Amino acid sequence: MVLVLFTIFPVLIALLGSFKSNAELTAGATILPSTWHVSNYVEAWKQAGFSRFTWNSLFVSLATTFGTLLVASMAAYAVNRLSFPGKKLFVAIQASTMFISVGPLVLHPQFKLMVSLNLQTSLWGVVILLVSGHAYIFFILLAFFSTIPREMDEAAKIDGSSLFGTYWRIILPLLAPGLGVAALFTFRAAWNEYILPLVFTMSQVDLQTLTVGLANLRYGASAAAQTHYMMAGACLSILPILVIYVFANKSFMQMTAGSIKG
Protein backbone atom coordinates (compact mmCIF):
# COMPACT_ATOMS: atom_id res chain seq x y z
CA MET A 1 0.00 0.00 0.00
CA VAL A 2 2.81 2.39 0.90
CA LEU A 3 4.55 1.60 -2.39
CA VAL A 4 1.35 2.36 -4.30
CA LEU A 5 1.06 5.72 -2.55
CA PHE A 6 4.66 6.61 -3.38
CA THR A 7 4.00 5.67 -7.02
CA ILE A 8 0.70 7.51 -7.43
CA PHE A 9 1.56 10.64 -5.41
CA PRO A 10 3.88 12.29 -7.99
CA VAL A 11 1.35 11.62 -10.76
CA LEU A 12 -1.43 13.10 -8.65
CA ILE A 13 0.64 16.19 -7.86
CA ALA A 14 1.42 16.66 -11.56
CA LEU A 15 -2.27 16.27 -12.46
CA LEU A 16 -3.39 18.81 -9.87
CA GLY A 17 -0.54 21.13 -10.82
CA SER A 18 -1.65 21.08 -14.44
CA PHE A 19 -4.84 22.92 -13.42
CA LYS A 20 -3.06 25.66 -11.42
CA SER A 21 -1.87 29.04 -12.56
CA ASN A 22 1.86 29.43 -13.06
CA ALA A 23 2.19 31.71 -10.03
CA GLU A 24 0.29 29.31 -7.76
CA LEU A 25 2.28 26.32 -9.02
CA THR A 26 5.59 28.12 -8.49
CA ALA A 27 4.64 29.19 -4.96
CA GLY A 28 3.75 25.57 -4.07
CA ALA A 29 1.67 26.60 -1.06
CA THR A 30 -1.38 24.45 -1.84
CA ILE A 31 -2.09 20.99 -3.17
CA LEU A 32 -5.52 21.64 -4.67
CA PRO A 33 -5.83 24.49 -7.22
CA SER A 34 -7.60 27.57 -5.89
CA THR A 35 -9.03 28.01 -9.39
CA TRP A 36 -9.16 25.17 -11.91
CA HIS A 37 -7.53 26.40 -15.13
CA VAL A 38 -8.72 23.94 -17.80
CA SER A 39 -7.35 26.40 -20.37
CA ASN A 40 -3.84 25.17 -19.50
CA TYR A 41 -4.50 22.08 -21.61
CA VAL A 42 -5.77 24.14 -24.53
CA GLU A 43 -2.72 26.42 -24.44
CA ALA A 44 -0.33 23.49 -24.04
CA TRP A 45 -1.89 21.82 -27.07
CA LYS A 46 -1.57 24.98 -29.16
CA GLN A 47 1.90 26.08 -28.06
CA ALA A 48 3.54 22.68 -28.28
CA GLY A 49 1.90 21.71 -31.57
CA PHE A 50 0.66 18.55 -29.92
CA SER A 51 -1.13 17.19 -32.98
CA ARG A 52 2.07 17.10 -35.03
CA PHE A 53 4.36 15.99 -32.19
CA THR A 54 1.90 13.32 -31.07
CA TRP A 55 1.80 11.85 -34.57
CA ASN A 56 5.62 11.80 -34.69
CA SER A 57 5.76 10.06 -31.30
CA LEU A 58 3.13 7.52 -32.37
CA PHE A 59 5.06 6.78 -35.57
CA VAL A 60 8.35 6.28 -33.71
CA SER A 61 6.76 4.24 -30.91
CA LEU A 62 4.63 1.98 -33.11
CA ALA A 63 7.39 1.39 -35.68
CA THR A 64 9.90 0.68 -32.91
CA THR A 65 7.49 -1.69 -31.18
CA PHE A 66 6.75 -3.65 -34.36
CA GLY A 67 10.41 -3.80 -35.38
CA THR A 68 11.63 -4.78 -31.92
CA LEU A 69 9.04 -7.55 -31.51
CA LEU A 70 9.89 -8.95 -34.93
CA VAL A 71 13.69 -8.87 -34.49
CA ALA A 72 13.73 -9.94 -30.83
CA SER A 73 11.23 -12.76 -31.32
CA MET A 74 13.17 -14.19 -34.27
CA ALA A 75 16.43 -13.95 -32.33
CA ALA A 76 14.88 -15.58 -29.24
CA TYR A 77 13.35 -18.35 -31.39
CA ALA A 78 16.70 -19.11 -33.02
CA VAL A 79 18.54 -19.17 -29.69
CA ASN A 80 15.91 -21.32 -28.00
CA ARG A 81 15.34 -23.80 -30.81
CA LEU A 82 18.56 -23.98 -32.83
CA SER A 83 22.20 -24.82 -32.28
CA PHE A 84 24.72 -22.67 -34.16
CA PRO A 85 28.33 -21.52 -33.72
CA GLY A 86 28.67 -18.49 -31.45
CA LYS A 87 25.31 -19.01 -29.76
CA LYS A 88 26.67 -18.55 -26.23
CA LEU A 89 28.70 -15.53 -27.34
CA PHE A 90 25.60 -13.95 -28.87
CA VAL A 91 23.63 -14.40 -25.65
CA ALA A 92 26.56 -13.03 -23.63
CA ILE A 93 26.77 -9.94 -25.84
CA GLN A 94 23.03 -9.38 -25.48
CA ALA A 95 23.32 -9.68 -21.71
CA SER A 96 26.30 -7.32 -21.55
CA THR A 97 24.36 -4.55 -23.28
CA MET A 98 21.85 -4.65 -20.40
CA PHE A 99 24.45 -4.12 -17.69
CA ILE A 100 26.91 -1.77 -19.41
CA SER A 101 25.41 1.68 -19.91
CA VAL A 102 27.35 3.76 -22.43
CA GLY A 103 24.57 6.32 -22.88
CA PRO A 104 25.63 9.53 -24.69
CA LEU A 105 29.05 8.05 -25.56
CA VAL A 106 27.55 6.22 -28.54
CA LEU A 107 25.46 9.11 -29.84
CA HIS A 108 28.19 10.41 -32.14
CA PRO A 109 28.98 7.06 -33.84
CA GLN A 110 25.26 6.31 -34.06
CA PHE A 111 24.63 9.64 -35.77
CA LYS A 112 27.57 9.11 -38.14
CA LEU A 113 26.16 5.68 -39.02
CA MET A 114 22.79 7.20 -39.87
CA VAL A 115 24.53 9.92 -41.92
CA SER A 116 26.25 7.21 -43.96
CA LEU A 117 22.81 5.66 -44.56
CA ASN A 118 21.34 9.09 -45.37
CA LEU A 119 18.83 8.73 -42.52
CA GLN A 120 20.00 11.64 -40.36
CA THR A 121 17.03 13.75 -41.49
CA SER A 122 14.42 11.02 -41.01
CA LEU A 123 12.64 9.52 -38.03
CA TRP A 124 13.53 6.13 -39.48
CA GLY A 125 17.05 6.70 -38.16
CA VAL A 126 15.64 7.01 -34.63
CA VAL A 127 13.50 3.90 -35.13
CA ILE A 128 16.41 1.77 -36.36
CA LEU A 129 18.60 2.77 -33.41
CA LEU A 130 15.80 2.09 -30.92
CA VAL A 131 15.08 -1.31 -32.47
CA SER A 132 18.76 -2.21 -32.18
CA GLY A 133 18.58 -1.87 -28.38
CA HIS A 134 16.27 -4.84 -27.88
CA ALA A 135 18.28 -6.95 -25.40
CA TYR A 136 15.79 -6.91 -22.51
CA ILE A 137 12.91 -7.73 -24.88
CA PHE A 138 15.00 -10.59 -26.26
CA PHE A 139 15.37 -12.13 -22.79
CA ILE A 140 11.68 -11.62 -21.96
CA LEU A 141 10.65 -13.48 -25.11
CA LEU A 142 13.35 -16.10 -24.59
CA ALA A 143 11.75 -16.96 -21.25
CA PHE A 144 8.34 -17.29 -22.91
CA PHE A 145 9.76 -19.49 -25.68
CA SER A 146 11.04 -21.94 -23.07
CA THR A 147 7.42 -22.55 -21.97
CA ILE A 148 6.33 -23.65 -25.47
CA PRO A 149 6.87 -27.42 -25.97
CA ARG A 150 9.38 -28.39 -28.64
CA GLU A 151 6.94 -31.09 -29.73
CA MET A 152 5.02 -28.32 -31.51
CA ASP A 153 8.02 -27.71 -33.78
CA GLU A 154 8.52 -31.42 -34.40
CA ALA A 155 4.86 -31.93 -35.33
CA ALA A 156 4.99 -28.96 -37.70
CA LYS A 157 8.18 -30.29 -39.30
CA ILE A 158 6.54 -33.68 -39.89
CA ASP A 159 3.66 -31.87 -41.61
CA GLY A 160 6.16 -30.26 -43.97
CA SER A 161 6.35 -26.81 -42.40
CA SER A 162 9.56 -24.82 -42.86
CA LEU A 163 11.47 -23.32 -39.94
CA PHE A 164 10.09 -19.84 -40.62
CA GLY A 165 6.61 -21.23 -41.27
CA THR A 166 6.64 -22.96 -37.89
CA TYR A 167 7.78 -19.74 -36.20
CA TRP A 168 5.23 -17.54 -37.97
CA ARG A 169 2.11 -19.71 -38.07
CA ILE A 170 2.43 -21.88 -34.96
CA ILE A 171 4.88 -20.54 -32.39
CA LEU A 172 4.20 -16.82 -32.72
CA PRO A 173 0.44 -17.09 -31.94
CA LEU A 174 1.31 -19.10 -28.82
CA LEU A 175 3.67 -16.31 -27.83
CA ALA A 176 0.86 -13.72 -27.68
CA PRO A 177 1.06 -13.10 -23.89
CA GLY A 178 4.81 -12.53 -24.10
CA LEU A 179 4.41 -10.27 -27.12
CA GLY A 180 1.82 -8.22 -25.23
CA VAL A 181 4.19 -7.65 -22.31
CA ALA A 182 7.11 -6.91 -24.63
CA ALA A 183 4.98 -4.49 -26.65
CA LEU A 184 4.03 -2.58 -23.50
CA PHE A 185 7.66 -2.18 -22.39
CA THR A 186 8.90 -1.32 -25.88
CA PHE A 187 6.19 1.23 -26.61
CA ARG A 188 6.71 2.91 -23.24
CA ALA A 189 10.48 3.15 -23.73
CA ALA A 190 10.14 4.52 -27.27
CA TRP A 191 7.42 6.98 -26.25
CA ASN A 192 9.55 8.36 -23.41
CA GLU A 193 12.81 8.47 -25.42
CA TYR A 194 14.25 11.99 -25.43
CA ILE A 195 17.95 12.07 -26.35
CA LEU A 196 17.81 10.34 -29.75
CA PRO A 197 14.82 12.33 -31.10
CA LEU A 198 16.42 15.53 -29.79
CA VAL A 199 19.72 14.85 -31.59
CA PHE A 200 18.06 13.86 -34.87
CA THR A 201 15.47 16.66 -34.96
CA MET A 202 17.36 19.68 -33.61
CA SER A 203 17.10 21.49 -36.95
CA GLN A 204 13.75 19.96 -37.98
CA VAL A 205 10.92 21.09 -35.76
CA ASP A 206 8.32 19.26 -37.84
CA LEU A 207 9.93 15.91 -36.98
CA GLN A 208 10.21 16.45 -33.23
CA THR A 209 8.48 13.99 -30.93
CA LEU A 210 6.26 14.82 -27.99
CA THR A 211 9.03 14.56 -25.40
CA VAL A 212 11.13 17.09 -27.32
CA GLY A 213 8.14 19.33 -27.96
CA LEU A 214 7.25 19.32 -24.26
CA ALA A 215 10.66 20.74 -23.42
CA ASN A 216 9.87 23.69 -25.69
CA LEU A 217 6.95 24.57 -23.40
CA ARG A 218 9.32 25.40 -20.57
CA TYR A 219 9.77 29.03 -21.58
CA GLY A 220 7.36 31.37 -23.28
CA ALA A 221 7.98 34.30 -25.58
CA SER A 222 9.10 36.47 -22.66
CA ALA A 223 11.51 33.76 -21.41
CA ALA A 224 9.31 33.23 -18.34
CA ALA A 225 8.97 29.69 -17.05
CA GLN A 226 5.68 28.05 -18.05
CA THR A 227 5.61 25.18 -15.58
CA HIS A 228 1.82 24.96 -15.63
CA TYR A 229 1.80 24.32 -19.39
CA MET A 230 4.53 21.71 -19.02
CA MET A 231 2.44 19.94 -16.36
CA ALA A 232 -0.61 19.95 -18.63
CA GLY A 233 1.45 18.71 -21.58
CA ALA A 234 3.01 15.95 -19.47
CA CYS A 235 -0.44 14.76 -18.37
CA LEU A 236 -1.60 14.68 -22.00
CA SER A 237 1.47 12.69 -23.00
CA ILE A 238 0.64 10.01 -20.40
CA LEU A 239 -2.69 9.13 -22.04
CA PRO A 240 -1.33 6.91 -24.87
CA ILE A 241 0.69 4.90 -22.35
CA LEU A 242 -2.47 4.31 -20.31
CA VAL A 243 -4.34 3.16 -23.43
CA ILE A 244 -1.54 0.73 -24.34
CA TYR A 245 -1.49 -0.58 -20.77
CA VAL A 246 -5.24 -1.28 -20.88
CA PHE A 247 -4.78 -3.42 -24.01
CA ALA A 248 -1.67 -5.19 -22.67
CA ASN A 249 -2.93 -5.53 -19.11
CA LYS A 250 -4.12 -9.13 -19.53
CA SER A 251 -0.74 -10.27 -20.85
CA PHE A 252 1.07 -8.37 -18.09
CA MET A 253 -1.07 -10.01 -15.42
CA GLN A 254 -0.43 -13.45 -16.95
CA MET A 255 3.32 -12.87 -16.78
CA THR A 256 3.09 -11.64 -13.19
CA ALA A 257 0.94 -14.61 -12.15
CA GLY A 258 3.34 -17.01 -13.84
CA SER A 259 6.36 -15.54 -12.08
CA ILE A 260 4.63 -15.75 -8.70
CA LYS A 261 3.56 -19.35 -9.33
CA GLY A 262 7.11 -20.28 -10.41
CB 164 within 8 A of CB 70: no
pLDDT at 63: 95
| Right CATH for 38-261 from 1.10.3720.10, 3.60.15.10, 2.40.50.100, 1.20.1370.10 | 1.10.3720.10
74 has pLDDT over 50: yes
Give per-residue pLDDT as tens, 143-182.
Answer: 899 888 888 888 888 888 888 888 888 888 888 888 888 8
pLDDT at 101: 63
Query: Average model confidence (pLDDT) for the chain?
Result: 82
CB 210 within 8 A of CB 56: yes
| Range from 56-65, 99-108, 206-215 carrying the lowest mean pLDDT | 99-108
pLDDT level of residue 262 (50, 70, 90 thresholds): very low
Give per-residue pLDDT as tens, 16-39.
Answer: 888 888 777 777 767 788 888 888
Q: Buried b vs exposed e over 207-218: b needs ≥16 C-beta within 10 Å?
A: bbbbbbbbebbe
pLDDT at 21: 80
pLDDT at 67: 95
CA angle 17, 18, 24 (to 5 degrees): 50
255 has pLDDT over 90: no
Distance, CA of 257 to CA of 213 (rounded, Å)? 38
Distance, CA of 58 to CA of 209 (rounded, Å)? 9
Q: Which pTM value belongs to this model?
A: 0.81
Angle 135-145/50-81 helices, nearest 10 degrees? 50
Q: What residue segments make up the domains of the chain, in order of their start?
A: 38-261
Give per-residue pLDDT as tens, 103-132.
Answer: 667 788 888 888 898 888 889 999 999 998
pLDDT at 124: 92
Average pLDDT of the residues in 210-216? 79
Q: What is the percentage of the chain residues whose pLDDT exceeds 90?
A: 16
pLDDT at 223: 47
